[in-house]
Structure 1
């Protein structure tokens, strides 16, 4: 079983680096939708923002929750995706593969500018904060879809476990915390070098982008 797992991992993640191919970048950025009045996020406004942005940029609605609200839209031409990550408080922009960061920035800037024009007119804004500053006021329910309802149920099960130190009490943390991801194509020869470089950068990123201080949670 262990050897089979190693072989599957190699096929999935290592072997692709041995084949000649064009190198691309993939970027995913989550951002909290906040109320400019310091109130809880109006989730009907954030849902309307996704729908309007999808219309404006020619995206196709691909996923809807159990009530018919769109929570994902995809651009067939670029592979870009608008979605909500776990909660309607958390807007995610995923950029399809690009050759340069300049190309990614241009598309990202267009999207955010348009979405924020829509949101500002309704008292809201997309921000770059890692934690929604008004998370205590927000509705922390997950997007009502099978995938996120499964995740919500799984996280709540941590309350049933007994172990030294226990678990943190924030079982709904995905509904108010945001993250970003970058995917890079690398060659087999540089794979270890790139992994090591990213590992070294992580603590520096934590200092440079420490914009998620929780004044209500000093610990």
Structure 2
């Protein structure tokens, strides 16, 4: 059975990377904010969704909730998806794959501008902040659909895990108020090991550049609280399912070994999700049956199922760098950025992907943050703080970060499309020793109204 499982993992996660492709996929989650400081009215959301479909008639519903409301629209021509993520408090723009950033950016700005102007008619707005600054006003109600009810049920189940040495936070609904900017890139089989290893080592630098998730009124010294929201939830019961790798892979076999250490917590039967206690995927397949819970007629009921090899399809990790069934690497550690800087995330990853050897050499020889007794995960935890630790020289850190940006810029220049322009905001952040999260904290400490930040971060 173990060989069957391993072969299935290889077929689903590794085999697709052997295709020669070079596309870019981008997902941008954006909080919806009711400037009246009241809960987002979902009826307004549904009206705007309907208006969007009429305005952009290539879009049609591909997700309908249990109440008959559309929560996802897909473009039949370019596969763009405009949907709501976890709840109707968050909107997501999942852009269909393309070969250049300008094409993606033009379409994103078109959709975003229309939706924002529609919301503004009701004194609502959209903004590029990784945690909704008005989260305390909103209702934490998941989208009434199979996937999102299952996900929220899983996250709320943390009280069942009393026998593990782990602290859980008090925000099981964090998916309804936190937003990310994710990038999917085609990385070929031959480059998979080095790309994962090298990008893992620059996660601390990415924290320095992109942090933008400040939990208002709590933990205001942390610039990227999203990390903790994932780590100290039921997704983080097995730390291999979230965060960073902190190991150097030497081969594809090493990656497969890692996949075998992941936990599984849900499957589908007859188009219905079944939740069960999160467990190692190899242990799951050793069991004759699993007792789980299924949502039926507005309540959860117990159900027994027999593991099937195709249940591998529901093995979902939430790593900072994820292998996907599409044969891509998904980079998912970055918060939603101020909207005018949205493409900086994809530009950074795309430029470095094509210069992985140069990046690997730079990081392997680094003495600014590495070779000081800290792992990549430990360094990232330090660099999402508002203040740098004393052992890091600020000037040298800026130099290292600029060198990484220069490599990304060179990679983009070699593509010959002018995409390096999207890195400008990142160079400015290094020059000013800041990032969006630090700017939020400074604004709050200076007594600036959060509404001004919301407006600035939402402008195109």
* TM-score normalized with structure 2 length: 0.45
For the residue of structure 1 that corresponds to 2:14, the secondary structure is helix
1:1-219 mapped onto 2 (5 Å cutoff): 1-19=1-19, 21-58=20-57, 59-162=59-162, 163-218=164-219
Q: Which has the higher contact order (CA 8 A, sep 6+)?
A: 1
* Alpha-carbon distance in structure 2 between the residues aligned to 1:192 and 1:37: 49
The alpha-carbon deviation at position 39 of structure 1 amounts to 3.0
Q: Deviations over 1:101-144 (max 9, x none)?
A: 11111111111011111111111112111111111110101001
Check 1:11–1:106 CA distance in 2 against 1; reply closer, same or farther (3 A cut).
same
* Alpha-carbon distance in structure 1 between the residues aligned to 2:152 and 2:189: 37
Segments of 5+ residues of structure 1 without an aligned counterpart are none
Check 1:206–1:51 CA distance in 2 against 1; reply closer, same or farther (3 A cut).
farther
* Alpha-carbon distance in structure 1 between the residues aligned to 2:126 and 2:208: 22
* Alpha-carbon distance in structure 1 between the residues aligned to 2:51 and 2:194: 42
128-137 or 32-41, which moves further after superposition? Answer: 32-41
Check 1:192–1:63 CA distance in 2 against 1; reply closer, same or farther (3 A cut).
same
* Alpha-carbon distance in structure 1 between the residues aligned to 2:84 and 2:66: 14
* Alpha-carbon distance in structure 2 between the residues aligned to 1:5 and 1:217: 44
Check 1:12–1:170 CA distance in 2 against 1; reply closer, same or farther (3 A cut).
same
Segments of 5+ residues of structure 2 without an aligned counterpart are 221-460
* TM-score normalized with structure 1 length: 0.91
* Alpha-carbon distance in structure 2 between the residues aligned to 1:205 and 1:35: 30
CA contact (8 A) 2:24 2:98 kept: yes
For the residue of structure 2 that corresponds to 1:74, the secondary structure is strand
Q: Deviations over 1:39-71 (max 9, x none)?
A: 332222223222222221120012211111110
Whose radius of gyration is greater, 1 or 2?
2
CA contact (8 A) 2:35 2:123 kept: yes
Where does structure 1 differ by over 4 angstroms across 4 or more consecutive aligned residues?
Answer: none
* Alpha-carbon distance in structure 2 between the residues aligned to 1:205 and 1:115: 29
For the residue of structure 2 that corresponds to 1:136, the secondary structure is helix
Match of 2:443? Answer: none
CA contact (8 A) 2:81 2:95 kept: yes
* Alpha-carbon distance in structure 1 between the residues aligned to 2:14 and 2:106: 31
For the residue of structure 2 that corresponds to 1:63, the secondary structure is strand
CA contact (8 A) 2:26 2:184 kept: yes
More helix by share: 2
- How many residues are matched? 218
